[in-house]
């Protein structure tokens, strides 16, 4: 792979030929491919196929964007003629057609992607070009394009993590930094403190002066909070008039001091409402030392709010603190079996569901998962919920994994074995202990550990150490229920799975509803660029199966193919 090492090479140029008779659309594409700091698209245009072929004789291009709707070129197979003239140049087909047949026809004739004219935006166009150049091996320009994609995605991620009014973190942004800081806390043992600040009687400001004035006050409050903290601390808006402050490497004593500093910073100087009016605004604060087992922002808010209520009940404009909120005790479930039974193999059975290669419906893998045989706990959400409440979910999850690995020895050795694991198990259980569940001397590449995207909380980097140990031992990785969640792309980039399973909601109905195909095709292009193998789960209709076969999805499972047994 060509590397870009010299300073003068950091500005990469990609030459694009747009074959388009609509000048307005050509201009729009040039606008979308505007120059960035390290990427320069040189866009040339041709109004028809013959002009494009003529340009080929004189110039070199890296990618072609071809309009299939040019009247002059209809009936002449423009993709085929371009491919015959320049077989190695990636082609992106462009049209107003959004039906699956048109997309499949374009891909069959040699295009790397099929784009709908009304859905063009910078991010999707960059991803399609990235995927096309990856497929055709144009690596030199690909490095710069990859950087541009990362920068573009990072910018969108930052926007999604910031409260638009106050410009501090929102809950999603707080979840990301909380996950990261908890990881450091677990590794280094460094203390971590949270302060919840609730503005006192702020509703009266909105009621008296209006929400527009209230918004200006909130912006000033956010500025004062940031000014009172260190550069390494975090401020997040977690409610209408609630802010949560996260203080890494801070003892509780230091945190209480910061909390009082924040309280004084808000109270000491009145807030200007308009040219005439000023108001003194105070806050009640609760400060806690965060326990390592905290995982979600909701858990953290629960810890801090109970302490904050002390400040409210004692008259407001006060700081309260608590050494540590006790870990929750196991929740009693009247009528449920003893928790000890959850960690006995005798109370589990293994279910199996085949995974098929969709092109010829040959079974190539099998997903194994455990179910409880205990009364009232037959459904997975029932016994896993009980295990979670009792703080023994990782241990129960590891037991389920062991049961499935044992059952795998009875399956056809030629097929892959897919096994489920909760992400929290990778944190709580040492990876070497997880590897001990597999047979000694076995070829671990036969096994695929599946992590559910919906269970990956915030920044997935906390999973990377455990995942790497499994991958280095040969175990493959799959991310399941992949769709359009807040962090799925980040999980795929960081964890580098061998497989992804598309969420059932993405594939159910694609065979009968054209509106459901468009987002699916766009997602597939992104996954193709990441060089991961795509699977579909939840196949229940023959129409959906046929649609996925025509799109080119490699693998699938579901009740239409074979139910769990």
Mean pLDDT of 413-428: 90
In this prediction, residue 551 carries a pLDDT of: 87
Considering the domain boundaries, does residue 116 fall inside one? yes
Cα dihedral 153, 31, 137, 152, rounded to 10, equals -10
In this prediction, residue 157 carries a pLDDT of: 56
Buried (b) or exposed (e) across 194-224, using 16+ Cβ within 10 A? Answer: bbbbbbbebeebbeebeeebbebbbeebbeb
User: Domain end: 291, 322, 353, which one?
Assistant: 322
pLDDT tier, 261 (very low <50, low <70, confident <90, very high otherwise)? very high
Percent residues over pLDDT 90 in the chain: 28
Same domain, 315 and 405: no
pLDDT tier, 326 (very low <50, low <70, confident <90, very high otherwise)? very low
CA distance 305 to 295: 16
CA 131 to chain centroid, in Å, comes to 19
On average, the pLDDT of the chain sits at 81
CA distance 259 to 254: 9
Same domain, 215 and 314: yes
Q: Where are the beta strands (DSSP E) in 170-280?
A: 192-199, 234-237, 242-248, 271-272, 278-279
Contact 88, 50 (CB under 8 A): no
In this prediction, residue 322 carries a pLDDT of: 80
In this prediction, residue 5 carries a pLDDT of: 34
Contact 476, 449 (CB under 8 A): yes
Considering the domain boundaries, does residue 461 fall inside one? yes
CATH of the domain at 16: 3.40.50.2300
User: Domain end: 132, 160, 188, which one?
Assistant: 160
Residue recorded with tokens 């870990």: 327
The model scores a pTM over 0.85: no
Considering the domain boundaries, does residue 521 fall inside one? yes
Same domain, 437 and 391: yes
Considering the domain boundaries, does residue 450 fall inside one? yes
CA distance 536 to 57: 44
CA distance 71 to 227: 62
Considering the domain boundaries, does residue 149 fall inside one? yes
Half-sphere exposure of 18 (CA within 13 A, CB side): 22
In this prediction, residue 462 carries a pLDDT of: 76
Same domain, 349 and 496: yes
Considering the domain boundaries, does residue 141 fall inside one? yes
Q: Which residue has the higher pLDDT, 361 or 389?
A: 361
What percent helix, strand, coil does the chain show, rounded to 5?
45, 20, 35
pLDDT above 60 (res 8): no
Same domain, 182 and 244: yes
- DSSP string of 499-513, one letter each residue: EEEE-HHHHTTTTT-
Other Cβ atoms within 10 Å of 557 Cβ, number: 25
Contact 151, 170 (CB under 8 A): no
CATH of the domain at 289: 3.30.70.270
Same domain, 385 and 525: yes
pLDDT tier, 458 (very low <50, low <70, confident <90, very high otherwise)? low
pLDDT tier, 236 (very low <50, low <70, confident <90, very high otherwise)? very high
Tokens standing for 506?
């993405």
Contact 14, 63 (CB under 8 A): yes
pLDDT above 90 (res 221): yes
Burial of 136 (0-12, 13-18, 19+ CB in 10 A): middle
Q: Which of 168, 278, 282, 177 lies closest to 229, judged by CA?
A: 168
Same domain, 347 and 292: no
User: Domain end: 322, 349, 383, which one?
Assistant: 322
Considering the domain boundaries, does residue 63 fall inside one? yes
pLDDT above 80 (res 7): no
Considering the domain boundaries, does residue 331 fall inside one? no
Contacts of 150 (CB under 8 A, 6+ apart): none
H/E/C letters for each residue in 99-164? CHHHHHHHHHCCCCEEEEHHHCCHHHHHHHHHHHHHHCCCHHHHHHHHHHHHHHHHHHHHHHCECC
Same domain, 138 and 175: no
Same domain, 80 and 22: yes
Candidate from 33-42, 75-84, 391-400 with smallest mean pLDDT: 33-42
Same domain, 279 and 360: no
Same domain, 80 and 180: no
Same domain, 67 and 114: yes
Instruction: List phi, psi (to 5°) of 458.
Output: 65, -145
Q: Which domain holds residue 393?
A: 339-557
Q: Which residue has the higher pLDDT, 559 or 462?
A: 559
| Count of domains observed in the chain | 3
């Amino acid at each position: 792979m060509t590397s870009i090492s010299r300073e003068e090479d950091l500005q990469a140029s990609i030459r694009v030929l747009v074959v388009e008779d609509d000048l307005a659309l050509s201009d729009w594409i040039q606008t979308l491919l505007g120059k960035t700091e390290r990427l320069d698209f040189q866009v040339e245009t041709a109004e028809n196929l013959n002009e494009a072929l003529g340009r080929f004789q004189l110039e070199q291009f890296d990618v072609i964007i071809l309009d299939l709707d040019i009247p002059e070129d209809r009936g002449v197979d423009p993709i085929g003629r371009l491919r015959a003239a320049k077989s190695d140049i990636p082609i992106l087909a462009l049209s107003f057609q959004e039906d699956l047949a048109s997309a499949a026809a374009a891909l069959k004739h040699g295009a790397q992607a099929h784009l709908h004219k009304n859905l063009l935006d910078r991010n999707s166009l960059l991803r399609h070009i990235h995927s096309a150049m990856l497929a055709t091996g144009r690596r030199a320009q690909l490095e710069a394009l990859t950087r541009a994609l990362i920068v573009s995605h990072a910018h969108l991620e930052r926007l999604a993590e910031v409260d638009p009014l106050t410009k501090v973190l929102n809950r999603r942004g707080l979840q990301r930094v909380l996950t990261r800081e908890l990881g450091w806390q677990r590794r280094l043992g460094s203390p971590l403190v949270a302060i919840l600040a609730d503005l006192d009687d702020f509703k009266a400001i909105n009621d008296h002066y209006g929400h527009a004035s209230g918004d200006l006050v909130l912006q000033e409050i956010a500025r004062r909070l940031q000014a009172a903290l260190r550069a390494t601390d975090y401020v997040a808006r977690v409610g209408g008039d609630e802010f949560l402050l996260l203080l890494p490497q801070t003892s509780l004593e230091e945190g209480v001091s910061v909390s009082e500093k924040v309280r004084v910073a808000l109270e000491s100087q009145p807030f200007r409402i308009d040219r005439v009016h000023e108001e003194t605004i105070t806050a009640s604060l609760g400060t806690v030392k965060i326990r390592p087992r905290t995982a979600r922002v909701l858990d953290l808010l629960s810890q801090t709010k109970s302490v904050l209520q002390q400040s409210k009940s004692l008259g407001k404009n006060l700081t309260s603190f608590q050494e540590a909120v006790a870990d929750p005790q196991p929740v009693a479930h009247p009528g449920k079996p003893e928790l000890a039974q959850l960690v006995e193999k005798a109370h589990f059975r293994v279910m199996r569901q085949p995974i098929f290669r969709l092109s010829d419906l040959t079974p190539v893998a099998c997903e194994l998962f455990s179910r409880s045989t205990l009364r009232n706990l037959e459904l997975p959400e029932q016994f896993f919920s009980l295990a979670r409440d009792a703080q023994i979910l990782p241990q129960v999850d590891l037991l389920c994994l062991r049961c499935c690995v044992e059952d795998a020895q009875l399956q056809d050795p030629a097929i892959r074995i897919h096994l489920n694991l909760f992400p929290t198990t990778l944190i709580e259980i040492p990876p070497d202990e997880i590897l001990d569940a597999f047979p000694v001397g076995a070829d671990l590449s036969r096994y695929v550990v599946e992590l559910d995207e919906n269970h990956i909380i915030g920044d997935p980097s906390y999973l990377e150490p455990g995942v790497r140990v499994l991958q280095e031992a040969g175990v493959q990785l799959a991310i399941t229920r992949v769709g359009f969640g807040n962090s799925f792309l980040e999980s795929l980039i960081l964890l580098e799975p061998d497989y992804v399973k598309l969420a059932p909601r993405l594939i159910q109905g694609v065979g009968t509803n054209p509106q459901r195909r468009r987002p699916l095709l766009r997602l597939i292009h992104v996954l193709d660029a990441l060089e991961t193998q795509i699977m579909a789960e939840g196949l229940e209709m023959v129409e959906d199966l046929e649609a996925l076969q025509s799109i080119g999805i490699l693998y699938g499972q579901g009740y239409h193919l074979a139910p769990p047994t």
